[in-house]
Amino acid sequence: MQALLKLSRAIDWLNALVGRWVIWLILASTVISAINAAVRKAFNVSSNAYLEVQWYLFAAAFLLAAGYTLLNGEHVKIDVVYGRLSRRTQNWIDVFGFTVFLLPMCLVILWFGVPFFLQGLRSGEMSSNAGGLIRWPVYLMMPLGFAFLTLQGISELIKRIAFGMGLIEDPTAKKGEKSAEEELAEEIRRLAEQQGKA
């Protein structure tokens, strides 16, 4: 199990690194959007390439950061029931979810996404819009993003199983961070103190 935990740490490191760099794609997309708008207003000149590169950058940021998002436990969860269960029960629900839903779904998308990307690369497919860009770079983001998500799913599965076996501390516990409920309670307390002083 120690070898698997070492693999998990390596995957976590990789997705943390990707997440730190992918954030710059959002800035690049924003800057390109602003420049495109300014040039269009000032000189009445524009190109579909500017619009498409923004879409490409956004798609890259969204897909490549999926593993980073899972690493940080930031995917949306509907925990009406889940949140009321013990941490051990939640852990085994996570193991079931990663094994039965996340990993198979990622593998199916990779199964279809890699040939889709390769077809676009071989054909040199271009956008149908005038002045549009070549398509294969954005097609590459799907298999690459789901590869990162698959790896992180494997890492999370390893950590959940190790936690279930009592080998590691809770991998979902955020050290030093307050939960949303704790922050809300502090804000209510602070407002009540202000009202009491007034």
For 128-170, write each residue's pLDDT tens digit. Answer: 777 778 889 999 999 999 999 999 999 999 999 999 888 888 8
Q: What is the DSSP string of 134-161?
A: BSHHHHHHHHHHHHHHHHHHHHHHHHHH
- Name the burial class of residue 2, with classes exposed (0-12), middle (13-18) and buried (19+) by CB atoms within 10 angstroms of its CB: exposed
Helices 136-164 + 103-123 axis angle, to 10: 160
Long-range contacts (CB closer than 8 Å, 24 or more residues apart) made by 25-29: 25/57, 25/58, 25/60, 25/61, 25/64, 26/57, 26/58, 26/61, 28/57, 29/53, 29/54, 29/57, 29/58, 29/61
User: Is residue 7 a contact partner of residue 144, using CB atoms and an 8 Å limit?
Assistant: no
Residue 178 has pLDDT above 70, yes or no: no
How confident is the model at residue 153, as a pLDDT? 95
pLDDT in tens, 3-44: 999 999 999 999 999 999 998 999 998 999 898 888 888 888
Residue 9 pLDDT? 93
